[in-house]
Chains A and B, each alone.
Chain A
Amino acid sequence: MKKRVLTVDDSRTIRNMLLVTLNNAGFETIQAEDGVEGLEVLESANPDVIVTDINMPRLDGFGFIEGVRKNDRYRAVPILVLTTESDAEKKNRARQAGATGWIVKPFDPTKLIDAIERVTA
């Protein structure tokens, strides 16, 4: 069974990169454009792992992570934060919101796949 990855990112560029990288690595990829959409599609996406951006319109990554952690069925799904934020404060917030791990941009396919494999069985 292919593992299902939900990606949440408002940048079309990054979405496409994620899609190509994840599909090439044999994942099934479901994409959302911001936190609100991410929560909306959560049930239907039924992800094994989530990759999310932080800076997004409508609902940012922190809010999205908190939303997922409040969802009974998905609160234990690993969530990786894809971020350009380099300051510790932001990462702490992501962690407090319930992020499992993080990948620092610039986007690197190897790093992404490695990180996903680290948090999924």
Chain B
Amino acid sequence: MDMNEIKEIFFQECEEQLAELESGLLKLNDGDRDPETVNAVFRAVHSIKGGAGAFGLDDLVSFAHVFETTLDCVRSNRLEPNQDVLKVMLRSADVLADLTNAARDGGNVDEARSRQLIKELEALANGEMPQPAPEPAKAAPIAQVAPAPAANDDGFQPVAFSFEDFEAAEPPTIEPSTYEIVFRPKSELYAKGNDATLLLRDLSRLGEMSIRCDMDRLPALDEMNPEAAYFSWKISLKTDKGEEAIRSVFEFAEWDCELDVTLASGDASDAGQELPMQPVPFDLSLLDEGAPAQAEAIEDDEQIVSQQHDLRDAAVSTAANASNVLKMAQTAARAPVENAKASPASAAQAAGQQAASAATPTIRVDLDRVDRLINLVGELVINQAMLSQSVIENDTNGTSSINMGLEELQQLTREIQDSVMAIRAQPVKPVFQRMSRIVREIADMTGKSVRLVTEGENTEVDKTVIDKLAEPLTHMIRNAVDHGLETPEKRVAAGKNPEGTVRLTAKHRSGRIVIELADDGAGINREKVRQKAIDNDLIAADANLSDEEIDNLIFHAGFSTADKISDISGRGVGMDVVKRSIQALGGRINIQSKPGQGSVFTMSLPLTLAVLDGMVVTVANQTLVVPLTAIVETLQPEASAIHSFGATQRLISIRNSFCPLLDVGRILNFRATQANPVEGVALLVESEGGGQRALMVDAIQGQRQVVIKSLEANYTHVPGIAAATILGDGRVALILDVDAIVAASRGQALKPEMTLAATG
């Protein structure tokens, strides 16, 4: 793993943290005051800051820092997270997301906005805080924070110190001088895992050192507390690194020892001689006598015996190097009484912790691997289909064991396929979460007050569908807030809550995912839509349209009802583009609108883009697959039901209503003249705008699940064809793009149909 990969991980993590941040803030916004929610929000920002610092992403760090400081005020109850505060925080979360994206993909951030928010955040942190002092960096300008954390440091100065300073090739300009150091550790020093030996070792690296150990305070062994500190050292160090470097060696220990550093006046060698202490002869026999006595005092425990050895070993080495005695302090066990006290407590603690950690374990897998698996399973499905077909062709005995085995294989293959697809399935939550930001932004821009309610966030759908869902959904949300909802004044006038509600719902329905976007706005102004369509030459002035047909006009290309193109939804992209992208996903979109009560957009999408249930049909000796979801019914047309219309158009009457009859073979240029409808089969399909069309094919072969192979990836885009697949007999079949066929049949615009509708 290299730094770039870690950076990639960092950005992935940022996305998760940002989602966490936003959902936490929204919870707080809804009145949640659980401290853990506040903590989670704080941690999210904190983690982003931590990682960003490691990669030198200074803009991100400085913004995150200010944000974190303000969140810390909330965490410590110095700032009440009311709606106003949360508004600023939600916007800050948006800016943080922007900064993260900018750090990953380059590009610019709205600096004015981020500066403004920094100000607002700082104001929040300052305004409510009783004592501003403990937040040293709060008032600091942006640039100061990340690159020089040492600057904010107070108390001990750990960061001011750097090993590089004295390991650098060029020594500092300080002249070598001799320091007298008295180092007297306290017991706490050892209790915190520090070790005098190591400190002395580090000190010795600074220059020439002579050292004496003062063992005067060492009591007799039977009085000795193995964890206490009895020794102290007098050190004479000749170094050119200066006193600062000496003190920094004791950086971690300075609270737990007495340290006295003085510059020696005389020569270094003199200083050594001046040390009053002499090495104390250490009598091992004393130790031997003392140890059993101690062992009796303590209860007989095997551990203790080994400790005696430790003790003795340590003591032996002490004769040579006094500091080693201190190891005893580290290795010796506590008195048994203390043990007994400690263990039930820790056991209880452990039990509590286990209860807390009952989450389902997950693993992260590279998407490529899953895709490879899905491809292979696709091949397996095709292979299995081919095998079945050849067995059927060669074996006349339908009850043979081969057939039974094949059936089992088929079932297994299906199950494997479903399970593999489930790996790619992900909840729509991240997309839904992104929408709340969109709503906030547009609400701000339009001056409307909007609440976004999401339901069914955990509904799962294939990852590719999710990825492609964000864009159309964003656009629809914009539309709903911009065009759908009224201004607060108008809402009040209409007797509604001044705050509008946009409801985003996801659910599974018959093998598809259905996403609903409902607003409680004014609903579609049909008169206005109709007028607009007439102005734009989309329909005839006297066309007689049903409400549903008028509503569906908004999906027509180049249609916009906003009187002037607003900055929000009028970006040259209309609902027609939304419809196109939904259709490209194999989905459908519908609108229902009630004047004064609002509109509901319903999208229905396949759960996966990798397989498709299709009807295999023959058209002009070509095998085609028609997506089953598009087909409403199939019928054998009778001659009496076929009516000519205009020069080339034909209609079929089904249950007293007329429906355009389209010859697929003609549209795809498989044949030069239209086939005789009576000899073929008509597939009644639902197309754009909810209208129905009858597609003429020559024959139906059957219904099958097919694995979708992209034509774009393997060949090139073919109009009227959505993709291809490989059938059981090994032949390639094209998958029909029903809506494209219907669109192609229309030639120019909506006009002829609308006249039709008038006739019908």
For the complex formed, measure the closest distance between the CB of B24 and the CB atoms of chain A, giving whole angstroms: 12
B357 touches A37 (CB 8 A): yes
A55 touches B162 (CB 8 A): no
Knowing A14-B54, A16-B9, say if A72 contacts B357 (CB, 8 Å): no
- Residues of B close to A102: CB separation below 8 A: 158, 252
A19 to B334, CA, bound (A): 34
CB contact between B13 and one of A12, A40, A120 (< 8 Å): that residue: A12
Interface size of A in residues (CB-CB distance below 8 Å): 53
A76 interface residue per 8 A CB criterion: yes
Query: Closest residue of chain B to A59, judged by CB?
Result: B353
Interface majority SS (helix, strand, loop, mixed), chain B: helix
Q: How does the 8 Å CB contact mask read for A81-121 relative to B, with 1 for contact and 0 for none? A: 00010111101100100111110111100110010001111
- Residues of A close to B346: CB separation below 8 A: 67, 70-71
A17 touches B134 (CB 8 A): no
- Residues of B close to A20: CB separation below 8 A: 1-3, 6
A88 to B152, CA, bound (A): 10
For the complex formed, measure the closest distance between the CB of B349 and the CB atoms of chain A, giving whole angstroms: 7
CB contact between A118 and one of B9, B40, B46, B202 (< 8 Å): that residue: B202
B274 interface residue per 8 A CB criterion: no
A56 to B134, CA, bound (A): 22
B50 touches A84 (CB 8 A): yes
A68 to B587, CA, bound (A): 56
A8 interface residue per 8 A CB criterion: no
B170 interface residue per 8 A CB criterion: no
A14 touches B356 (CB 8 A): no
B39 interface residue per 8 A CB criterion: yes
Tally of A-B Cβ pairs under 8 angstroms: 157
- Residues of B close to A59: CB separation below 8 A: 353
B43 touches A118 (CB 8 A): no
Query: Closest residue of chain B to A36, judged by CB?
Result: B353
B194 touches A100 (CB 8 A): yes
- Residues of B close to A69: CB separation below 8 A: 191-192
A12 touches B9 (CB 8 A): yes
Query: Closest residue of chain B to A11, judged by CB?
Result: B47
B39 touches A57 (CB 8 A): yes
Knowing A106-B53, A106-B54, A110-B164, say if A79 contacts B193 (CB, 8 Å): yes
Q: What are 18 A-B pairs with beta-carbon distances under 8 A?
A: A10-B43, A13-B47, A13-B51, A17-B54, A36-B357, A37-B357, A70-B346, A72-B334, A72-B342, A84-B149, A87-B135, A87-B136, A98-B191, A98-B193, A101-B158, A105-B149, A118-B202, A121-B198
Name A residues whose Cβ lies closer than 8 Å to a Cβ of B. 10-14, 16-17, 19-20, 36-37, 39-40, 53, 55-59, 67, 69-72, 75-79, 84, 86-89, 91-92, 95, 98-102, 104-107, 110-111, 114, 118-121
The 4 closest A-B pairs by CB, nearest first: A88-B155, A106-B53, A101-B252, A78-B193
Given A110-B163, A111-B162, 12 other A-B residues pairs in contact with their CB atoms under 8 A: A13-B13, A14-B50, A57-B40, A72-B334, A89-B134, A91-B155, A91-B156, A92-B155, A101-B251, A110-B164, A119-B194, A120-B198
